[in-house]
Each structure stands twice: as C-alpha cells, then as structure tokens.
Structure 1
C-alpha cells in the first residue's frame, strides 16, 4: 500500500451522451422499455418484501438472473451514469488535478525536504504535500475509465486498489489539513504553551494518526467486489454500480464513517482552530493582514471542496428513498471529482504564497547549489526557511 511509503515523512526524514431521463423506479415499475437511447432491454424491479428500495451512494443495481456478474440499472440512472457529467466534466477535473497538482506538490515536497529546516511544522507540510501528490498519482486509471465512457479495463483488483487509494489519500489530506490547523492554532493563540507542545513528538503523533485513520477508513473499499458488467452493454463498471444486497449492509456504514470521520470531523477541527486563529489575527491589527486573508482562504477552500460530496453521502443515508432524493449519485460523481481539486489549491495556499518559499523554488529551478553562498547568506536562508514554516499562514 502506498501509505507505507510515507512513514519516513511521518518521522520527519528526509460521464455516449444518453440523455434520456425517466422517472425514478418504484417496486414493479417498468424501466428502459426499449425506448431509443436505452442501453438495455426492459427491466422490471420486483421486491415484494420491502415497499421502498434503498438508494444509497452508488447506483443500486439488480443482479441478472443466473448472472451475478451483471447488474441491471434503471434508464434514469443509466442516463446520469453515462451522460456528459461523468464522461466529459469529471475527466476535465481529474486531468486538472494531475497536470497541476502533480508538479506543484512534487516541487513543494522536494523544496520542503531539501531546502527548509526540519522543524515540526515542516514535517506536517511535507506530509500534506505527500498526500496531495499521491492523490494526483492514483487518478490516471480513473481518468482513463471516465474517458472510455465508464469502461474499466484494468480488472477487479485494480478497481479495489484505485478506489481505496482515491478515498484514502483524499481523506488523509483532509486529516492532515486539520493537523496543520491545530499546529497554527497553538503557535498563535497559545504561543507560550506551543514552545513545549509543538515538538517532533506531537507532529509525529498527528501525522501517524492521520495516515492510519485514512488507511483504516479506506480498508473496507478493498474487501468487497466492485466491478460489474452493465446489463445490455459491453461496459464493465468500477464502483459506480453495486448490488442492492450489499448497499445497506456493507457500503452504508463504510461511507458513513468516511464522511463523518474523514471529512466533517477534520472540518470541525479546522473551523474551531482557524476561527480562533482568525480572531487572534484580527485583534493584532494590520500587521497580520496578509496572514488573515490566507487563513480565511485556507478554511473557505477546505469547506468548499470537501463539503458537497460528503453532504451528498449523508443525504443518501438520512433517508435513502428514491422519492426523496432521486439519483443523487449522478451529482455525487462530479462533486467527488471537485473534492480532489483541493490538492491543487493546497500548495498555492500553504507554500507558494510565501515569498521565502518562492525564492527557494526559484533557486531549485535555477539549480543554484545550496552550499555556494557565504555563511551569512546561509544563515539568512536558514532564518527565512524557518519563517516559511511559521509565517505561511500566520
């Protein structure tokens, strides 16, 4: 698992545009009916045991008779799954994360690891950059999947790993953002106490907790089958359509835990910590005006990127009846892709917003040797490096 590669950092070492839309299906309703644009034959969902079908996060599929590898899907859900949002809009978002987030976080991680003093705050930022970098690295298979019109060519094992890696690294990033907010809170609101608390022991504990929690939350995604053939087509879907039999019993608790522990708890931590930080910065007057703006942007970006997709998760499970929320998964897919954009924004808010960090990036790009300066310049660089970690947000 890729998370194992991050222990040195923890320790401080180096949507076919089928736009036909039909009403949501109830028990006994006929869907697909052979109308033009439908991908499958007429499919009828009959379940006399429950008057209301569960409609959780992934599209609920009904297994075909004598074929557990194929799932049937209502025409309305097919239209959403194979429409422009999944096959056009989502690939654009994932492509942006790869093309921007990959180099931005890679360069930031290199500079933090080689040109900045290894302070506790540096280790936190290195872990955050690593999480965002790994998120960009695991997106190409999903990007290819959406560009191919929801056709997964890599097999079951790869689907499980890709799904777990996507969610694991994304929520790991959210947890590390919360850790950084706690560190900044201590540094500004409790500066005297921070002298003893903001050490390598606290930093190591925060980073280890973030990675282990993200791994534990993503682990259930590797334990259940997630590739199924869509009835009436040649498409093999990855995670987008899951059997009704496992939706409520397995995926409902798994994704509820993901949303609460991996998103809303870290966001609550950030709101509390950055709220107190903003209050302290505002009380200091104009001296910290730039830091005040950056801190507000950091908090606003995290809330804007992570809240929509996770709110949709909880909406599905608060009342999973289709009559209440409809095909929310068709909205969830692009909102999930939107959440990954946070990894592109992080480096520009946490690293490149600092003039000192920009100078060090320029030195790396210009290949200036770190040992060619005089001792005075070296001392200034070290002092400025310390300022990067302490003043990026403050």
Structure 2
C-alpha cells in the first residue's frame, strides 16, 4: 500500500508527459491565440517568459507566476506550466471528479444527516457521525463554483471574495472530515479495545469535545486561505485564475508555511491516529474470532479508503515543499490538482461505509422516506424495524 502511495507522484507526472529526466526544462508547445514558437530571427515568441536571471523554480505549491510590468493583476507563466494549466487534466478530468463527488455526496450525506438528526437516538457515536455527514455535505456544496471554473477553461467568474471563500471552504471542510474520521477512530478504539473504560469515557461530553476540536482546528488551518489574494489574470489571455497561479514571493513567504501546517496537522497526524487506533481495533476484533469478521472487514475498509483518498495529495504537497529540483519531480502541482479532486471522493465513500452499510440504518432511512409517501404511514409502523430503537454502529 505505502509503495503505491509513494509511487503515485511519479505515475501522475509520467501520465502528464513528464519524466524524472525531462522534468520542467523543455517548455510545451501549444496554440491558444498565437504560436508559442519564437520568430525566425531567434526572438522569443509571444508566450515565452522574458529572459531574466530568475531560474525556473519548482519549489512553490501552485504554479509560480511573475507580475507583468506596471500591472500586478496579471501574471506571466512559463510555457510548460501554461500548457499543463490549460490542458485536459484540469479542464476535463478534474471537473469530472468534482462532479462525481457532488452528484453522489450531496444526496447521500444530506439523507444520512437528516436520518441521524431525526430518526436515531442521540448517542455519542451519533454525534460524531452527524458532524461527519455535515462536513461532507458542506464540502459537496463548495464544489459547484470549482466545477464551473474548470469547465470554463480556468476562468473564475465570481470575483476575488468568492474565490477566497470557496478555496477556504473546500480545504476546510475536507480536512475537517479527516479530523472527524480520526475522532471516530478514537471512539471505536475505546469501544472495542477498552470496553469497560469506555463506559466512563464514551459520553456526550467526549463526543462533543472531539467534534468541537475538529471544527476549530479545520477553521484555523483554512483561515489563511481567506486572507490572501488568489485571483490573477493570465498574461496574453482572458483567463482569470483562482488559486492556481500565485506570485512567487507570496508562495515562499506565506503559502509555504500555511500548506505545510495544513498537510501535517490536518491530514498526516489524523491519519497516523487512525492507523494506531484502527490497528489496535483490528487486532482486538481478530482475537474475537469469526463472529467479528464483518466488523473486521469494515474497519479495514474504512482505514484503507482514508489512506487511498487523502494520502496521495498530501504526500505530493510535502514533496513539493521538500525542495526537489525540477530534474527530479518536474511540475508537482500538475499532479496535485487531480489528486486533490480525488480526495473529495472520500465524501462519497463515507456515507456507505459508516451509515448505509448498517441494516438498521437502512431501515431507518426506509421508515423516514415512507412517511413522505401518502398512505404508507400504517405500512411503516407495521413493517418497519421492530428493534429497541437503539442504533448499533456499522463497525462494532
């Protein structure tokens, strides 16, 4: 698993046409409104970065841009970076992934949140699952502007304030989901590994405290995304970019520490907590024999899905800030953009591994939906679940 995760950046770069040997040294040739080639006399073409002493850097996370003369609103971009920015991956593949996350995550999480809030007893585990469903639902609601931006060929139509708000919402709700997944893993660990101690510890106060910490940390980590300008015009075009191209100076001084904190505190440490908690939980379930085989498979699935969806983008993020040379990694941001879109698909998986996998939860959904169908109230009361009204977790 970890070998695959470590090889993901190289695979993404090779897919995009880069190899470790070529890196970002050779600009891509493309046509937008004019040719990228220089003139016959050796003069640079209209899209060629002016020859200055600044080398082509690969250190910043976003594509590095240089302000045009007497116009700080417009940024110059290297030819190879421009070709990747306007290629089929950001304008076709990325909005497709975002659209899938919206189409599945919005109704699945919305229905799950409604059932958890109205049909299920307010247990400590229910509080955690409600907050997870809310975070995934809010993440889905932040995707439509991002989808429109990519489908319009990297043209942000809503202005600077909306760009800041949408970027902060995208990252904030996604990393809040990771933190809540870690909180749920702690709750499962206490329930399975320390069942006697869990009677005193697993209460409403602990669940509410874990949720409050997750939301507060996510909001704090996403706050820098709303405090710095992120929309710039791309030189020699009508493209208005949102966050994808940022001035080199602010990337080094502002965005680098912000995103390192985001990756480490918002993802890598929560994933480490999940590894430890679910690792101990898996050992305890395996010792319990075949009667826990279903919970064992679900626990392994939850852990694997979190690693698969969140680890690639954050590993790329840290690799990009580890100061790799362009001959080693090339344009890491070109691989980061689709991996970030892939991370949002976890919001589609969460409802099915945490909620709908439970027969009792599906019965609650069926009962709730039947109440909205005329003449089905009696059927719902007679044919619905005849359990005690308590909600059993899908994992334990």
Please give the alpha-carbon distance, in whole angstroms, between the structure 2 residues aligned to 1:370 and 1:352: 24
- Work out whether 1:380 is the aligned partner of 2:387: yes
Closer, same or farther: CA 40–123 of 1 in aligned 2, 3 Å: farther
Closer, same or farther: CA 205–321 of 1 in aligned 2, 3 Å: same
Contact between 1:217 and 1:257, CA under 8 Å: does it hold in 2? yes
Please give the alpha-carbon distance, in whole angstroms, between the structure 1 residues aligned to 2:370 and 2:167: 38
Q: How many residues align?
A: 366
2:344 aligns with 340
After superposition, the C-alpha distances for 1:93-152 in whole angstroms (9 at most, x for unaligned) are 100111100000000000000110000110000000000000000100000000000000
Closer, same or farther: CA 84–33 of 1 in aligned 2, 3 Å: closer
Aligned-residue offset at 1:56: 1.5
Aligned-residue offset at 1:252: 0.4
Contact between 1:164 and 1:221, CA under 8 Å: does it hold in 2? yes
* Aligned mate of 2:359, from 351, 355, 361: 355
Contact between 1:176 and 1:207, CA under 8 Å: does it hold in 2? yes
After superposition, the C-alpha distances for 1:248-284 in whole angstroms (9 at most, x for unaligned) are 1000000000000000011000000000000011101
Aligned-residue offset at 1:52: 7.0
Aligned-residue offset at 1:83: 0.7
2:315 aligns with 311
- Work out whether 1:46 is the aligned partner of 2:52: yes
> C-alpha root-mean-square deviation of aligned residues, in Å?
2.6
* Aligned mate of 1:274, from 252, 255, 278: 278
Contact between 1:56 and 1:320, CA under 8 Å: does it hold in 2? no
Q: TM-score if structure 2 supplies the norm length?
A: 0.87
| Structure 1 gap segments, 5+ residues each | 1-18
2:35 aligns with 36
Matched residue SS, 2:389 = helix
- Work out whether 1:134 is the aligned partner of 2:138: yes
2:161 aligns with 157
1:331 aligns with 335
Matched residue SS, 1:228 = strand
| Structure 2 gap segments, 5+ residues each | 1-15, 38-44
Aligned-residue offset at 1:300: 0.1
Closer, same or farther: CA 97–272 of 1 in aligned 2, 3 Å: same
- Matched ranges for 1:1-394 at <5 A: 36=35, 40-47=46-53, 53=57, 55-367=59-371, 373=381, 380-383=387-390, 386-387=391-392, 391-394=393-396
Q: TM-score if structure 1 supplies the norm length?
A: 0.87
Contact between 2:370 and 2:380, CA under 8 Å: does it hold in 1? no
Matched residue SS, 1:361 = helix
Please give the alpha-carbon distance, in whole angstroms, between the structure 1 residues aligned to 2:141 and 2:317: 25
Please give the alpha-carbon distance, in whole angstroms, between the structure 1 residues aligned to 2:299 and 2:18: 43
Contact between 1:30 and 1:42, CA under 8 Å: does it hold in 2? no
Please give the alpha-carbon distance, in whole angstroms, between the structure 2 residues aligned to 1:346 and 1:91: 21
Matched residue SS, 1:314 = helix
Contact between 2:354 and 2:394, CA under 8 Å: does it hold in 1? yes
After superposition, the C-alpha distances for 1:61-85 in whole angstroms (9 at most, x for unaligned) are 0111111111111111111111111
